[in-house]
Structure 1
Amino acid sequence: MSLLEQLGITYPIVQAPMAGGATTPELIAAVSNFGGLGSLGGGATSQDALNKQIDAIRALTDKPFMINLMVLSEHDASTFDTSMPDWLNKYYQEQQIDTVLPDKPAHSFTEQLQVLYDNPVPVASFTFGIISAQQVQRLQQLGTRVVGTANHTLEAKAWADIGADAVCVQGMEAGGHRGGWLPQSETDPLGLLTLIGQTRACTDIPLIAAGGIMSGRDIKAVQAAGAQLAQMGTAFLTTDKSGINATYKQALLDASNGTRNTETRLTRLFSGKQARGLVNNYLRDFASFDKTEELPPYPQLNAMTKFMRANAAKNGDAEHLSLWAGQGVALVKQERTLELLERLVQGL
């Protein structure tokens, strides 16, 4: 049975599960109702909010959809054991931005996973780590298909070994956070076609390809390379159902119309974990600190920079926002979500 049939979708299109409010229930439902797989990035969401968002999606569609969670240990989610960097403290003082850190840097993954046990969804995907074979089996027994995320063949094989239904292989071209967790995925980031080829050589688990995919032609290319489905995030960010703020959306459109540089960069400066976004003044000004040994880890730094990002959003300041975008950002368009989907299918 093909992955399309297993997931119950019509087209090989997965809307990437971007956290931080980008993936609204309306966006997810639009993609799922069209015949793709709409996805919620739920990793930055509380237990109660996650339940409400699942119910909101169900009210808008009876088609399959996916919930994505970030795999964090209880220690990582609950502990601040590093100090705010001096350069970030200085920035806050100069800009007169108040900073009061929360008690915990992130929501409990254990509590989020419990939501998926109590309120089962058609598909669950995981990033930033790997769950246990027992957790995979429990979800599958509830009728949930399980999708892992990998930046390296060793990660893809680990998901295959514990019985996942599919793996999303995320090439270095992808926007936003990289989903892998092994050091090999950071020290030598692989391009998508290389990653698909190497993964196909070591496991036959169904693959979903992510990274720089912007057109029907791109989808056909990754299918020819060995993936069954294509996961796309950046292309959806500038559509009408996207939940990103107006400043972020305009920066992406500026990159596509030539009024802003299209350069993207993998950086840890916003969150402590590698992520790709448009280069802005924050990344330029503090580039010398973008080193693992000098930065608090994820999710601690993410919690520390939240005040800067919130202030930037409030003031329409794109130079201090995390402008997550993949290497295909020059091809984004201001359009309705359905227009994008129709254009993608026409190219298949």
Structure 2
Amino acid sequence: MTLLETLNITYPIIQAPMAGATTPELAATVSNFGGLGSLGSGTTSPEVLNDHINTMKGLTDCPFMINLMVLSEHDSSTLDSSIPAWLNEYYEKNNIKMALPARPALRFADQLQVLYDNPVPVASFTFGIISAEQVQRLQSLGTRVIGTANHPLEAKAWADIGADAVCIQGSEAGGHRGGWLPQSTNDPMGLLTLISQTRACTNIPLIAAGGIMTGQAIKAIQTAGAELAQIGTAFLTTDKCSINDTYKQALLDASQDKRSSETRLTRLFSGKQARGLLNDYLRDFAQFESAHELPPYPQLNAMTKDLRAHAKKKLDAEHQSLWAGQGVALVRQERTTQLLERLVKEL
């Protein structure tokens, strides 16, 4: 059975689950078109997640995906790192009040429970791996399970516990990298290398992510050994995406030579590697990028939350996390359905 058949979709297109950028309306539009729409729900409370699932079920009869971030109880509850001096100085200099939350992230177990109580067609996971028992429980409820990997060993780990597919995310991809093994951080692989090396160690169906902006690119990754493409950056500038106007304009400016389309893999916003447009924040604090200088994810993410919120309020693109992949120069301002129609036409 092909992965298209397993997921019950028409086109080899998955709209990436970008936390903070995806809405039920965006995901439903993609699903109703014949792709797989998804919600990045790792930062969504269990109550709101349940509401989102019910909204999705009301907007589409087609399959859709919910994505969660796998964090241990310790990681999601611990705030024991000191705030970096450079970050504290920035807050003071710009007269921004910082209020740390009681815990840096939501409890993964509570979010996962929502998927047990209100089953969805597809569930995907990033930042870590769940247990074989959890995979089996989801599958027993009719949910297809997809893991995320940045390294062949991570993909094999998902295969070994019975996942239905793995999304392998090349270093070109925008936003946070989904892997968890040191190897994936130490030597990030480009997508085609990652596909070929993963194919060599496991037969699990593959979804490819990273820099895919056209139908021709979808055909290229299929030739290389992946079945479906997961596309994120291209959707950010479409009408159904919920990112703020300053962020969206920065992406469009990058595509129109009004600002550089150069991106960086950085840990400076969250403590975990993520790719975004190069801006003043990344330039000014580049010297602190090294691992031993920074609090881990999600602690640093909690520490920079007020900085990012202030930048958003001030319409300041230079201090927001402008997540984008290396294909950002190809974004267009268009309707979500226009993007989908163009991708399918190019297949």
- Partner of residue 270, structure 1: 269
The runs of 5 or more residues in structure 2 that have no matched partner are none
Find out whether 1:19 has 2:23 as its counterpart.
no
Match of 1:154 in 2: 153
Matched AA of 2:263: T
> Which letter does structure 2 place at the counterpart of 1:217?
Q
Aligned CA-pair RMSD: 0.4
Structure 2 distance, partners of 1:8, 1:311, is 42
Query: 79-88 or 232-241: which moved more?
Result: 79-88
Q: Which residue of 2 aligns with 1:69?
A: 68
- Offset from partner CA, 1:171-224 (integer Å, 9 cap, x none): 000000000000000111000000000001111000000000000000000000
Shift of 1:332: 0.0
Q: Which runs of at least 4 in structure 1 moved beyond 6 Å after TM superposition? A: none
> Separation in 1 of the partners of 2:28 and 2:259?
32
> Which residue of the partner structure matches residue 3 of structure 2?
3
TM-score normalised to structure 2 length: 1.00
Q: Give the TM-score normalised by the residue count of structure 1.
A: 0.99
Displacement of 1:291 in angstroms is 1.1
Answering whether residue 184 of structure 2 is matched by residue 185 of structure 1, we say yes
Aligned-pair CA distance for 1:57: 1.3
* 1:100-135 CA-partner distances (Å, limit 9, x unpaired): 101000000000000000000000000000000000
Instruction: Provide the rounded CA distance (Å) in 1 between the counterparts of 2:46 and 2:103.
Output: 14
5+ residue gaps, structure 1? none
- Corresponding residue of 1:212: 211
Offset of residue 151 of structure 1:
0.3
Shift of 1:49: 1.0
SS at match of 1:80: coil
Task: Give the superposition deviation at 1:159.
Answer: 0.2
SS of match in other structure, 1:184: helix
* C-alpha distance in 2 between matches for 1:91 and 1:201: 47
- Per-residue Cα deviation, 1:136-156 (whole angstroms, up to 9, x for no partner): 000000000000000000000
3-state SS of the aligned residue for 2:200?
A: helix
Secondary structure at 1:149 match in 2: strand
Question: What percentage of aligned pairs have identical amino acids?
Answer: 76
Paired AA for residue 18 in structure 1? M
Q: Distance in 1 between matches of 2:78 and 2:316?
A: 30
State the aligned residue count: 347
Q: Spell out the pairing of 1:201-280 with structure 2 (5 A cutoff).
A: 201-280=200-279
CA distance in 2, matches of 1:240, 1:332: 12
Question: Separation in 2 of the partners of 1:291 and 1:106?
Answer: 23
- What is the CA–CA distance in structure 2 between the aligned matches of 1:222 and 1:76, rounded to whole Å? 35
